[in-house]
Amino acid sequence: MTDLLCRPKVEIEVGAISECIQDRPVMVTGAGGSIGSELCVQIARFDPSLLVLVDHDESALYELHERLQNMAFSRYALCPTNILQHKKLERLFQKYWPRLVFHAAAYKHVPLMELHPDEAVLNNIEGTMLVAEMAGRFKVERFVNISTDKAVEPENVLGATKRAGELIVARLAAKYPDTLFASVRFGNVLGSQGSVVPVFRSQIESGGPVVITHPEVTRYFMLIEEAVQLVLQAAILLGEPTPDESRNASLFVLEMGEPVPIVDLAQKMIEFYWKEDSRSLGVEFSGLRPGEKLEEQLTWDYEETLPTRHPMVKRVLVKADVNPERLAPRDFENQLSRLVSLAHEHPPAEVVLRALEQCIPGYRSRSRNEMPQEDSVLFTLRS
DSSP category for residue 142: E
- Go through the chain and tell me how many residues it has: 383
Handedness of CA 320, 306, 189, 234 (dihedral sign): negative
Q: Is residue 321 in some structural domain?
A: yes
Q: Do residues 132 and 103 lie in contact, with contact meaning Cβ atoms separated by under 8 Å?
A: yes
Question: In angstroms, rounded to a whole number, what is the distance separating the alpha carbons of residues 55 and 186?
Answer: 22
Residue 2 neighbours by CB under 8 Å, 6+ apart: 223
Residue 172: what pLDDT? 95
DSSP codes, 345-360: T---HHHHHHHHHHHS
Q: Is residue 111 in some structural domain?
A: yes
Q: Is residue 55 in some structural domain?
A: yes
Q: Which of 333, 306, 182 is nearest to 243 (CA)?
A: 306
Question: In angstroms, rounded to a whole number, what is the distance separating the alpha carbons of residues 251 and 54?
Answer: 24
Residue 102: what pLDDT? 99
Q: Is residue 265 in some structural domain?
A: no
Q: Is residue 314 in some structural domain?
A: yes
Residue 371: what pLDDT? 53
Report residue 246 CA to chain centroid gap. Answer: 27
Q: Is residue 293 in some structural domain?
A: no
Residue 382: what pLDDT? 39
Q: Do residues 46 and 22 lie in contact, with contact meaning Cβ atoms separated by under 8 Å?
A: yes
Residue 377: what pLDDT? 43
Q: Determine whether 150 is an active site residue.
A: yes
DSSP category for residue 46: T
- What is the greatest pairwise CA distance in the chain? 60
- Burial class, 214, CB count within 10 angstroms (exposed 0-12 / middle 13-18 / buried 19+): middle
Residue 370: what pLDDT? 58
Number of separate domains in the chain: 1
Tell me which of 150, 162, 293, 314 is the catalytic residue.
Answer: 150
Q: Which ranges of the chain have pLDDT less than 70?
A: 1-8, 242-249, 277-280, 367-383
Residue 4: what pLDDT? 60
156: CATH: 3.40.50.720
Residue 10: what pLDDT? 84
Q: Is residue 287 in some structural domain?
A: no
Residue 290 neighbours by CB under 8 Å, 6+ apart: 110, 111, 114, 115, 156, 366, 367, 370, 372, 377
Question: In angstroms, rounded to a whole number, what is the distance separating the alpha carbons of residues 53 and 228?
Answer: 16
Q: Is residue 203 in some structural domain?
A: no
Residue 246: what pLDDT? 44
Q: Do residues 106 and 164 lie in contact, with contact meaning Cβ atoms separated by under 8 Å?
A: no
Residue 329 neighbours by CB under 8 Å, 6+ apart: 335, 358, 359, 361
Residue 57: what pLDDT? 97
The range of the structural domain enclosing residue 29 comes to 15-191+220-256+298-381
